Amino acid sequence: MPHSPNLQPRLARILIVDDHPLVLAGLVTMVELTGHQITTAESGLEAVRQLNDSPFDLVLLDLLLPDISGLEVMDYLQQQHIDTTVVVISGLSDIDHAIGALQRGAFDFLRKSFPAAELLKTIDHALQRRWLVQDNQRLSAQLLTSEKVHNYLIENSPDIIYTLNEQGLFTDVNPRVLPLLGWTAQELIGQHYSVLIHPDDLSRADYVLNHCEHNFQITRLVELHMRARQPDGGVRLFSHELMRVAQPGVCADALLTQPRWRTYGIAHDLTERKRVDALISYQTTHDLLTGLPNRALFKDRLNLTLQRAQRHGQVAAVLVLDIDRFKLINDALGHDLGDALLVQIAQRLKGCLRASDTLSRLGADEFTILLTDLGAPEEAAQLAEKCQASLRQPFTLQSQVAHVSVSMGLALYPTHGNETELLIQRANAAMTHKKTHGKDGYVVFEAAMLPLDQQLMTLEHELHEALRQGELEMFYQPQVDAASQRIVGAEALMRWNHPQRGLLSPAAFLPLAEETGLIIPMTDWLLQAVATDLCAFNHVSEVPLRMSINLPPQYLDRSNFTHNLHAALLSHGLLAAQFEVEVTENICIRNPLNAIEQLNALRHTGVRVAIDDFGTGYSSLSYLQQLPLDTLKIDRSFVMTIPLSGELPPVVLAIISVAKGLNLHLVAEGVETSTQLHALAQAGCHTIQGFYFFKPMSCQALLAQLGSGKE
């Protein structure tokens, strides 16, 4: 009797095999959406055990496993005649593995990073095919006992059903072949199957039909293009479900010696479905008005371009174009002519591009261009000018003439970014800048074109990358003894060697680092970098240098900062007395009791403590007396007030008096003139830091200075 589909959906048992726990968990999460019963295995041998213990309808199989490969698992399935459907999911993308899997009967081969929808669709198709095959197998068994049912199904099937003998000749074909391919069943009987197979698919058909002599009653699935009878012509795509069965009357013993078989096939017409799938695929990746790639396809191509450019060191560019005053044109001419104008603009832009470039419409009156394989950045600017010149020519729309101009923004890889979204965003920011500053032309992206919030987000991302890529550097400003004018110490100052903006001072990035919490890992890095450099300084300096480092309040708030600093000293074999930690007086306002406790713990290790920028905040002398201090630094803002006469201002005298009263070492910052130097030295400040002696310098420069013996 004919098969009727179940009213309730079938539930399958699915085995997922992958040795990567995260990938396995991700696959389970996706497949759970189907409602089927799921079992997992993390190795090939575990998968074999599971398959031996219980039947599974479907196996999602990784090829690269820790013990035996996925291909060996498939070999075992064939050797043991274990009936299951296999879908290979692998990170291996070479064609040999794909062919190996398909030759072993895999239903499909999916490369990892596929969308969840594609996996679910493949699972659905695999199970539907499996159940269809099982239904067909059950029907085949019924046909052996019911010729009437057999004939009914054959005659009324919507698919072409046929049998081939050992020589590949048709022995039976149902009437469905006539409306689909234009042949009568009688005309095909006795002819070789190649008469219907398109030449491009003939070798694949030969392989499937002639290289599985021992796979009796195992269904094979293959898609083949079949030719309609001349003169009608035409080619249609069919999915063939093939099963080898023993010839009637041949006993099992005979099969072991001289197997005689026939092929039972069902050919399902996929032509219309493939056409619809192709149409849907086109519509999801193209703009329907202009036929150009849409945003999704553009981003996909840009991503591939950036990967290739990174491998080969090439230059690429993204150009965003927006039609100036398009709304006015659209309102004046009507939407139909506005659409016609967009089509003509797309055609002109395509005429300006090379075959390797991609023009896309993102929506409304905005277009993007992907420029690949550029010899130099200047080529992108030249193409922008070419597009601009082409679009300046008048457009004829029926009886109307329209003139347009465009605002364009250009972003270059790798100068302005190395990620897909980042390049598009920056090209768009440049276009917006041009649109608000005169229109009709192009500009190349600059960081100042981003909105403030985007600038901060971009800076934060770049700062993360700077820490990861090793773009941070240490500079050192020497501290000089006023009497001997020899270098006795240095203040460590962080710099950012930005790949596009060059060397950035702390003011350009430290406030954001403090706001986002990045200051913590940056300070961890600073401790190790300064300790490493101080080891090098000790090898060339006549006396051990005292190294001052600025400690942000957020770092002091951490309970383990003393441990981190002490560990850095021990790992580099440095004396704790060579390190001086600088904190601002405002640290007492944030959390005075915690500050006193932490600084006492620091002093206990032998590290010195200095108050930086004293007098510039809300000074509290009561807390100052409680802090375990060694040094007081006079801020440069007070040093700059020293007049040419050399008479010290009262505030400076007061700070010096406080330092002497508390028996603290004094350091003056920002000394730039001999007058300032002599006035401070005579007042009792003997350690000088400022441009009068040295500007901040790199580690190598300070090493050279120390080694010259001319400090």
Question: Does residue 283 lie within any of the structural domains?
Answer: no
What per-residue confidence (pLDDT) applies to 352?
Answer: 92
Phi, psi of 352 (to 5 degrees): -90, -10
599 with 668, same domain: the answer is yes
434 with 545, same domain: the answer is no
8 Å CB contact between 674 and 693: no
- Beta bridge mates, 361: 367
257 with 336, same domain: the answer is no
Q: At what angle do helices 519-540 and 699-708 cross, to 10 degrees?
A: 20
567 is written with which tokens? 């560990």
546 with 684, same domain: the answer is yes
What per-residue confidence (pLDDT) applies to 260?
Answer: 67
Please give the angle made by the CA atoms of 261, 265 and 268, to the nearest 5 degrees.
170
Cα–Cα separations (whole angstroms), residue 101 to 90, 96, 159, 215: 10, 9, 28, 16
Question: Does residue 509 lie within any of the structural domains?
Answer: no
pTM surpassing 0.85? Answer: no
| SS3 at position 387 | helix
35 with 162, same domain: the answer is no
Question: Does residue 624 lie within any of the structural domains?
Answer: yes
Q: Which mean pLDDT values do the consecutive 10-residue runs of the chain (711 residues) have?
A: 50 91 88 89 92 92 89 91 90 78 86 83 89 80 61 76 90 89 89 91 87 61 85 80 72 50 87 82 86 91 91 91 88 87 93 91 90 88 91 88 90 89 90 88 85 76 90 95 93 91 87 87 92 93 90 77 83 90 75 78 88 70 77 91 89 90 92 94 93 95 82 44
526 with 550, same domain: the answer is yes
What is the DSSP annotation of 543-581?
SPPEEEEE--HHHHTSTTHHHHHHHHHHHHT--GGGEEE
Question: Does residue 472 lie within any of the structural domains?
Answer: no
8 Å CB contact between 187 and 177: no
8 Å CB contact between 224 and 201: yes
8 Å CB contact between 493 and 669: no
| SS3 at position 648 | coil
R_g over Cα of the chain: 39
Q: What is the CATH number of the domain that holds 521?
A: 3.20.20.450
Question: Does residue 168 lie within any of the structural domains?
Answer: yes
Q: In which domain, by residue range, is 537 found? A: 479-493+516-708
Residue 479: CB atoms within 10 A of its CB come to 25
What per-residue confidence (pLDDT) applies to 320?
Answer: 94
389 with 251, same domain: the answer is no
239 with 357, same domain: the answer is no
Residue 563: CB atoms within 10 A of its CB come to 12
Domains in the chain, number: 4
What is the distance, to the nearest Å, from the Cα of residue 539 to the centroid of all Cα atoms in its chain?
45
Q: At what angle do helices 674-683 and 650-661 cross, to 10 degrees?
A: 40
Question: Does residue 679 lie within any of the structural domains?
Answer: yes
Single residue among 221, 246, 277 that ends a domain in this structure? 277
3-state secondary structure 194-205: HHCECHHHHHHH
Q: What is the CATH number of the domain that holds 162?
A: 3.30.450.20
| Single-letter residue type at 477 | Q
Question: Does residue 508 lie within any of the structural domains?
Answer: no
Alpha helices in 20-114 (DSSP H): 21-31, 44-53, 70-79, 95-103
535 with 430, same domain: the answer is no
Q: What is the CATH number of the domain that holds 406?
A: 3.30.70.270
261 with 307, same domain: the answer is no
Question: Does residue 528 lie within any of the structural domains?
Answer: yes
271 is written with which tokens? 């032509």
Single residue among 398, 432, 450 that ends a domain in this structure? 450
- Beta bridge mates, 443: 409
8 Å CB contact between 192 and 185: no
State the Cα torsion 151-156-160-166 to the nearest 10°.
Answer: 0
394 with 323, same domain: the answer is yes
- Residue 344's nearest CA partner among 313, 320, 365, 368 is 365
Cα–Cα separations (whole angstroms), residue 183 to 91, 192, 233, 242, 270: 44, 14, 12, 21, 18
Single residue among 214, 245, 277 that ends a domain in this structure? 277
298 with 256, same domain: the answer is no
| SS3 at position 697 | strand
